[in-house]
Amino acid sequence: MASAQSGTTPQARTFAQFLMTVEDDFDSSIQTAQDENVQPVEVEVGNDRPNNLVADQETSDFEELPASEPTPSRRSSSETTGSSLSREPTDGFSSSGNPTATPELTANEPPLSLADVVASLYRSYPEINRARIEGQVASGNLTSAYGSYDTKFQAFSLTEPTGFYRNSRNGLGVARQTWWGGYVSAGYRIGRGYYQPWYKERQTDDAGEFKVAFNQALLQGRAIDAERVAVFQARLAQQAVGPLVQQSILEISREATAAYWEWVATGAFLEAQRELLELAELRGEQYEAGVKAGKFAEIDLILNQQLIAERRTKQLESEQKFQATSFKLSLYLRDDAGRPLVPSAQWLPKQFPQIVAPEPMDFEAEFALALARRPEPQVLQYEVRQVDLERQLACNQMLPRLDFISEASQDMGEPATKADDKGEFELVIGFQSEVPIQRRKARGKLQSTAGKIQQINEKIRLVRNKIGAEIQVQNNSLQLATQIVRQSELSLQAALETLDRYRFAFERGKIDLIYLNLLETKVNETEIKLVEAQQTWFTSLAALQIALGIDPLEQAMTVSSLPPSDLPQAGSAGDRPTGQEPEPPENSDQPEDQDPEEDA
């Protein structure tokens, strides 16, 4: 009891007294280091922040990479990146490097950037290429629609070789439909032989007959008809290909960006677990030497071996997740041939880019620009225009059919009959009309198209509401993610400083391995939280940029050009290994073979 009151051991003191003693010893060691011109390790927090990443753009058109140009591969352009994904192209899902290798970069291997992944999407992602090919489909449909106005060549040759009236008829000509609902034709025919009295019009003079005909719709079919509707709709479908490609790029870029930052984060998790394991293995070597020298109890060595096994398990779990994210990222990262490319661990960035505090957003202005940029409302507007063409056609079909008809013909050569009734110039003009009394087809089509337009307008209104809500959600997420990163940074700095002080005490035998392990585990958890906060920040930034309809490739190049973050990187808990062999605890005067329970 007297020994406990004298305060000769850390267990006998209060926690506050013990902490003050450790801090005094730690401060004195730092002062000694300064006297010897040795700088202690410090974590600097940078204050320089570049401008806001969410750039304002006046147009929503994304620059597409021409298929004839070289593959952008790892970089969108040589000016911004200066490297290529043609790193030993391999087949399918094989990697040019071991994805589970130590994530350290060689001198000639630049880290994989977000711009590399997004540029690969633009070049060879199948879903985006499929959307681009839709332009070829629309072009073919437009050409097919114009086929209604093709010039048609017509010919016939008929013979009646038996019976009382034996004759032959031959003819040829051209005809086509006009744009304004008319029909024009011209031809030549010749008839030989004897004809029935009721088919005398089939007979021509010896040199044949030339004929020209022209029909023109005056009411129904003049302003618009089914053929012109097909052409207009095909043109609209062709114009809608651009927004469809943009929509595909935005959706896939969101997935690819999330996969990239997840890959970077899991790589940081793996690095942190690996350095903790290396620290425990180094400490195990020190304990083995200490046990052999009789300085430590064997229970300390066994406890450290248990710690090594636990940390190796954590490292294997992190490696498993890292491999999974590498395979997932290979769906978006492709080589020059368009095959999935599993990123090597040597391409892993050592740190996230520098966090940029976002500027306050003018929601009304950004929302208006987003509506102009986003492709979803544009696609629906094209759909409305297509249905409106059908409505206009239905309105036109409510009118009666009234056509102007004209026909002119002239026979040539010797008269075919004594009456010479074929030699004069013949002209036929007149009108032809038709109208369904109920007109149910037109009225039903008019009613259905009006309903479709209302449905699409409601869908447009919902899409606009969703875009506004998405912008607000992602902006709020980015603002809060910035604060979370800052708080996680402060938490990690405090945890690292605390760990340094307790490692200092552990090296002098004032605390045991169990307590130090708890602190190292806590620091590791804090590091992971900071990495997760950085991952969330960049994912939220990408989601906000996509919600605003900004070109993902341009924004990815902006993010990739940022300097590395000056926040403590993953594995900081292992950056300060004990520089000397730990001393036995101050109260460890019991023999080595003492019962562990009594020692506890």
Q: Has residue 418 been placed in a domain?
A: no
Q: Which segments within 361-453 are labelled E, that is strand?
A: 401-412, 426-434
One-letter-per-residue 3-state SS of 159-171: EECCCCCCEEEEE
Q: Has residue 3 been placed in a domain?
A: no
The mean pLDDT values, 10 residues at a time, for the chain of 600 residues are 38 40 50 45 34 40 40 38 39 39 50 93 93 94 95 94 90 95 95 86 88 95 94 96 95 95 93 86 81 79 86 92 94 90 90 88 94 95 96 94 94 82 88 91 94 96 96 94 92 88 80 76 87 93 94 92 77 50 47 37
What pLDDT, on the 0 to 100 scale, is given for residue 36?
Answer: 46
- Plot region of 221 (φ>0 → left; ψ -120 to 50 → alpha; else → beta): left
Phi, psi of 584 (to 5 degrees): -65, 150
What pLDDT, on the 0 to 100 scale, is given for residue 253?
Answer: 95
CB atoms within 10 A of CB 593: 7
What pLDDT, on the 0 to 100 scale, is given for residue 477?
Answer: 93
* 27 vs 43: CA distance, rounded Å: 17
- Are 241 and 131 in contact by the 8 Å Cβ rule? The answer is yes
Per DSSP, 95 falls in state: B
Q: Has residue 262 been placed in a domain?
A: yes
Q: Has residue 94 been placed in a domain?
A: no
* 36 vs 32: CA distance, rounded Å: 6
Q: Name the nearest CA neighbour of 60 among 469, 556, 552.
A: 552
Q: Has residue 329 been placed in a domain?
A: yes
Q: Name the nearest CA neighbour of 423 among 110, 154, 187, 209.
A: 209
Q: What are the tokens at 506?
A: 């552990």
Please give the residue range of the domain that contains residue 268: 229-382+450-561
Per DSSP, 11 falls in state: G
What pLDDT, on the 0 to 100 scale, is given for residue 266?
Answer: 93
What pLDDT, on the 0 to 100 scale, is given for residue 90?
Answer: 39
Q: What are the tokens at 553?
A: 């490739």
What pLDDT, on the 0 to 100 scale, is given for residue 136?
Answer: 94
Residues in CB range of 393: below 8 A, 6 or more apart: 224, 225, 226, 229, 445
What pLDDT, on the 0 to 100 scale, is given for residue 108?
Answer: 59
Q: Has residue 473 been placed in a domain?
A: yes
Count of structural domains, the chain: 1
What pLDDT, on the 0 to 100 scale, is given for residue 535?
Answer: 93
Per DSSP, 593 falls in state: T
- Are 117 and 108 in contact by the 8 Å Cβ rule? The answer is no
What pLDDT, on the 0 to 100 scale, is given for residue 117?
Answer: 94
* 84 vs 327: CA distance, rounded Å: 20
Helix, strand, or coil (residue 216): strand
**CATH, residue 350:** 1.20.1600.10
Residues in CB range of 143: below 8 A, 6 or more apart: none
Residue range 174-219, pLDDT digits in tens = 999 999 999 999 999 999 888 888 888 888 888 899 999 999 999 9
Q: Has residue 393 been placed in a domain?
A: no
